[in-house]
Amino acid sequence: MKNKRGVSLILSYIILVLIGIALAVLVYSFLKVYVPKFQTPECPDDISLAIQSYSCSTNNLSFVLSNNGLFNIDSVHLRVSPQGRVKVLIDSEIRFLNGSLAPQPLVPGQTYSYLSTSTIASGSYDLELQPKIFTGKALETALCRPIKQNVVCS
């Protein structure tokens, strides 16, 4: 008779733990619907940015970009490094101003001339351009496949 009270106490603790687990499962399944899944924005396949021409004169790098794709390109991430090295000499973002104060996208078929303000010594460099587009959601951008070209400055 004395042992019955100990069994009922253990059963009450087990029931309390099961109720806690059941409530946790219910709250998790309810909140899972409201929390958005993290998805990285993807760049469309029909983005095509080309370097039409480049030149290195008086230690400045200049080039002409052409949008040959089907989508607007909002900006381009520029990286210039010595050929075969990891060290980056120029790391900047190019926004297409086209004569206005506010950045405008580079529309298909349009070209853009860029003149670097950084001085570059003579030598061989890797020029990497990575297009960036806005996806339409609140300031969400997608980075596209980078374009790499070897540039020789004399």
Higher-confidence residue: 97 or 1?
Answer: 97
**73 within 8 A of 67, measured Cβ to Cβ:** yes
- Give the Cβ contact number of residue 76 at 10 Å: 23
Given a cut of 90, is residue 114 above it in pLDDT?
Answer: no
Quote the CATH superfamily of domain 49-153.
Immunoglobulins (2.60.40.10)
**Mean pLDDT, the chain, as a whole number?**
83
- Give the Cβ contact number of residue 72 at 10 Å: 17
Return the pLDDT at 119. 79
pLDDT tens, 66-93?
999 888 888 899 898 888 888 888 888 8
User: Minimum mean pLDDT among 22-26, 73-77, 140-144: which range?
Assistant: 140-144
Domain ranges of the chain: 1-35, 49-153
Given a cut of 80, is residue 98 above it in pLDDT?
Answer: no
**Can you read off the two tokens belonging to residue 37?**
């899944």
